[in-house]
Structure 1
Amino acid sequence: MPDILTKTLWDSRRSLAGFAVGTALVGAMYAGFYPQVADGAMGEAVDGFSPALREALNMEDIASAAGYLGSSVYGIIVPLIAVIYGIATGTRAIAGDEEAGYLDLLLAHPVGRTRLLLHRCAALAIGAFGLAALLLLAMLAVRPSAQLDTVSIGQFAAQSVALALLCTVFGAIAIAIGAATGSRAAALAGSAAIGVLAYATNTFASQIGADGLRYISPFHYYIGNEPLRNGFQWADLGILTAAVGVLVLIATAAFRRRDLTS
């Protein structure tokens, strides 16, 4: 295929389909448990948690649909899968091809480094939004039967857009590390470590008296202002988008100046 973006999407179609379908099925399955939660089936278990732990895990109001989804489905399970997809895709984008020897073959054609990297980043973003869109459709499909009608379609869409941008941020981190080092292991380990640290910072900053640290975590801008209750948080989405832009610029600069012959 003459177009790098199209070829990248075609080559990753099985991975994207697997992650997207898996995320949608897992999200819909856990969303379907809400009627039991609303009836108080999990109340005693959650009441046994300390107030600090309930606050950290966003489980202070799991009786409401938005509270339950924000603490379990969109708070832990779905972002974990989406971030794994982003990191895996970003790791393959530059460093994976370089270690496999495919990058030299590709750049031997009239394809510039900047164009290659931007097309790979665009494929990452398209995949992330595709994953989030399929999850959105799945959640809307189970919404009536799972008694989630108090969360509007717009609020589900707002959380889905934030999820796609979160996935893209961590994918861009992996691309940047891979573009700077040429090492798939470094890209994978570095982006995974940043992901764990970012999640822990957002979750436990308040418990250690450093609430301001949450503002350096992408997870705060993903769910901190509760899109499932409040709809689109444009400032948060703008910050995530800006973070992607900065990471792409860093990746492009590092990739352009690195000696690929060494």
Structure 2
Amino acid sequence: MNGILPVFRRNLRESWRSLLGWTIGIAAVLFLYLPLYSSLGGDGQLEAMISSLPKELVDTLGYDQISTGAGYAQSTFFGLIGFLLLTISAVIWGSAAIAGAEESGRAELDLAHGIGRGQYALESALAVLVRLLWLGAFAGLVVWALNGPSELGIDDRNIVGASAALTGLAFLTASAALLAGAATGRRIWATGVGAGIAVLGYILQALAKQSKDLEWLNALSPYAWVYQRPPLSEGVDLGGLALTWGLALVFVVASVFALRARDLRG
């Protein structure tokens, strides 16, 4: 392999079909859900639907503010379906980046052609990050385009913040999978760790909403770091956003050292 960023360029070249599929999926969800608000939000139908649900379930899903356009977009997409879609893509890409390449034998072949382990880990992480940035930016653009027609009334700056929060959560998941893959060389471990970070974060913030005595759990949940204060209505929490992105970058750096320290196929 030769040229500038060979691993990064190859990963992007080989994953464009997957990226296109996730892009179409996000567009389909947004065009399905957001236009419904203008027909449901104005006549009290949403309030009636939510009032019929158990309060614990409403709090867990973040439906307590669903009667507003910002709350509706947050609870249906950014906090639930969009979060799920980007988490799945992050786990798939993050676990395949190093662990998947090692299990297939590609990593050994690449390293035998003069690519350093640190370079391999960093370029793999960059390829995952670029794809997630595209999905997050695309989601934000679609929400911005539908904001007026769907009568959501969301501030444009808050859309940017919410997109950055969603992308940061996904990259944290991907970088955790990347680190686990670099440390073990096994895709099953990479997948488990990546998915575990996302699921645990969601569960912890859900538990924190059930009782004031459990609110301290929010400090352990990346999901709560960026979503405890609703970013679409109140603006993103910059401290939580920085913590999420910062931890993701720490995992990337740690993956470099983990890959360097381990014998491949050892």
TM-score normalised by L of structure 2: 0.93
Q: Give 1:163 deviation, angstroms.
A: 1.0
Q: Which residue of 239, 243, 246 maps to 2:243?
A: 239
Q: Could you tell me which residue of structure 2 aligns to residue 116 of structure 1?
A: 120
1: distance between equivalents of 2:53 and 2:210?
A: 14
**Of 173, 176, 179, which residue of structure 1 is paired with 2:179?**
176
1:14 Cα shift?
Answer: 1.2
1:26 aligned partner: 29
| Residue 197 (1) aligns with residue 212 (2) | no
Please give the alpha-carbon distance, in whole angstroms, between the structure 1 residues aligned to 2:237 and 2:265: 45
Partner Cα distance (1:193, 1:68) in 2: 27
Is the 2:34–2:150 contact (alpha carbons within 8 Å) kept by the matching residues of 1? yes
Does the 8 A contact of 2:207 with 2:217 survive in 1?
no
CA-atom RMSD in angstroms: 1.5
Contact preservation (8 Å) 1:37, 1:62: no
Q: Could you tell me which residue of structure 2 aligns to residue 219 of structure 1?
A: 223
Report whether the alignment pairs 1:106 with 2:110: yes
Matches of 2:197 and 2:248, distance apart in 1? 15
Q: State the identity %.
A: 30
Q: Does structure 1 conserve the Cα–Cα contact (< 8 Å) formed by 2:226 and 2:237?
A: no
The Cα of 1:245 is off from its aligned counterpart by: 1.6
Match of 2:69 in 1: 65
**Is 1:136 aligned to residue 136 of structure 2?**
no
Q: Give the 4+ runs in structure 1 shifted more than 4 A.
A: none
- What's 1:185 paired with? 188
Cα displacement string for residues 195-241 of structure 1 (whole angstroms, at most 9, x for unaligned residues): 21211111122315311111211111232211101224321221011
CA offsets per residue over residues 19-42 of structure 1, 9 Å max, x none? 122112212321111123312223
Q: State the Cα distance separating 1:194 from its structure 2 match.
A: 2.7
What code does the residue aligned with 1:252 have?
V
TM-superposed deviation, 1:140: 1.8
Unpaired runs of 5+ residues, structure 2, are none
Task: Name the residue aligned to 2:39.
Answer: 36
AA partner of residue 93 (structure 1): A
Unaligned residue ranges in structure 1 (runs of 5+): none
Question: Are the counterparts in 2 of residues 169 and 244 from structure 1 also a CA contact under 8 Å?
Answer: yes
- Identify the match of residue 76 of structure 1 among 50, 70, 80: 80
Mark the CA change 1:232 to 1:206 in structure 2 (over 3 Å): closer, same or farther. closer
Task: Tell me if the contact between 1:20 and 1:132 (Cα under 8 Å) persists in the aligned partners.
Answer: no
Q: Is the 8 A contact 2:162 2:231 kept in 1?
A: yes
Q: Is 2:210 the partner of 1:207?
A: yes
What is the number of residues matched between the two proteins? 261
TM-score with structure 1 length normalisation?
Answer: 0.94
Instruction: Quote the Cα distance in structure 1 between the aligned partners of 2:237 and 2:230.
Output: 8
Q: 2:160 aligns with which of 132, 151, 157?
A: 157
Q: Aligned letter for 1:169? A: L
